[in-house]
Amino acid sequence: MSDNKEKKINEKENINNTKTTGKQKVEECKKNKEECKEINCERSDHKSKSKNSKSQDKNKIKELKKELELLKTRNSNLEIQILNLKQENAKAEQAFMAQANTFQAKAKEKVEEFKNEHKAKQEQEITHIKKYANSKFFKEIVEPWLNLAIAVDFGAKQGNQDVQNYVVGFQMLLKQMDSIMEKHGLLRIVPSIDEAFNPETMEAISSIEKEGSKDKVIEIKKEGFKHHDRILKPAVVVIGK
């Protein structure tokens, strides 16, 4: 009897255990189903995310390609601009060099002109100085020379033979002096009667009424002198009015 009870008890326990195990399995299946659902959801989410990510990546790639094309275009444009600038710079440099060479040539020409002008001016000044170097000396000597000439002319008009003999010697001396003075550029200013009065070479000390002789030389008081074209002493005259 005891054995049968134990068997029954064991069987009940086994049944209970089996029920419990079945319940557990059912619970586990439920859990597994939920987990599967979650996993499937996660997978679907992952797939959708993956699809979205791929779509976004494609869009990004397209945008990057567009940007790359834009950059290439810009780069190409910049290269063209750089080439144009280089060409313009080369042209500007050539123009500058040509202009600089022209300026240099003109400057050199001007310097040469200045040198030549300066040299010519110096030579002219030296010639002028040499030409008129004796002007001061001649200006001081003409007055005594004129006085001597007047005295000789006065003596020649005298009837005294002894005086005239002296005058001949002085006349020869005056001729020699005239020749020497002319050689050095000292010239007499000897106006003519009825010659028009020239204020540059003559000095009028008086004027006399005379018909047809207005502003003309009617009398010569003293001869004048000039050194080349420089008046040292004007001729002294009387003019008509």
Which of 195, 191, 183 is closest to 228 using CA atoms? Answer: 183
- Supply the pLDDT for residue 218: 94
Report the alpha-carbon distance of residue 167 to residue 158 in Å, rounded: 10
* Sheet architecture: strand order including 186-189: 186-189, 224-227, 230-233
pTM of the model: 0.49
- Supply the pLDDT for residue 28: 61
> What phi and psi values does residue 209 have, to the nearest 5 degrees?
-65, 125
Report the alpha-carbon distance of residue 185 to residue 179 in Å, rounded: 10
Report the alpha-carbon distance of residue 145 to residue 177 in Å, rounded: 9
State which residues of the chain have pLDDT below 50: 1
Cα distances (Å, whole numbers) of residue 122 to 108, 119, 125, 128, 220? 21, 5, 5, 10, 41
Report the alpha-carbon distance of residue 85 to residue 105 in Å, rounded: 29
- Supply the pLDDT for residue 182: 87
- Supply the pLDDT for residue 44: 56
- Supply the pLDDT for residue 45: 56
Fold of the domain built from segment(s) 133-240: Nucleotide Exchange Factor Grpe; Chain A, domain 2 (2.30.22)
Interaxial angle between packed helices 135-156 and 161-183, expressed in degrees from 0 to 180 and rounded to the nearest 10: 160
C-beta of residue 235 within 8 angstroms of C-beta of residue 217: no
Report the alpha-carbon distance of residue 144 to residue 177 in Å, rounded: 12
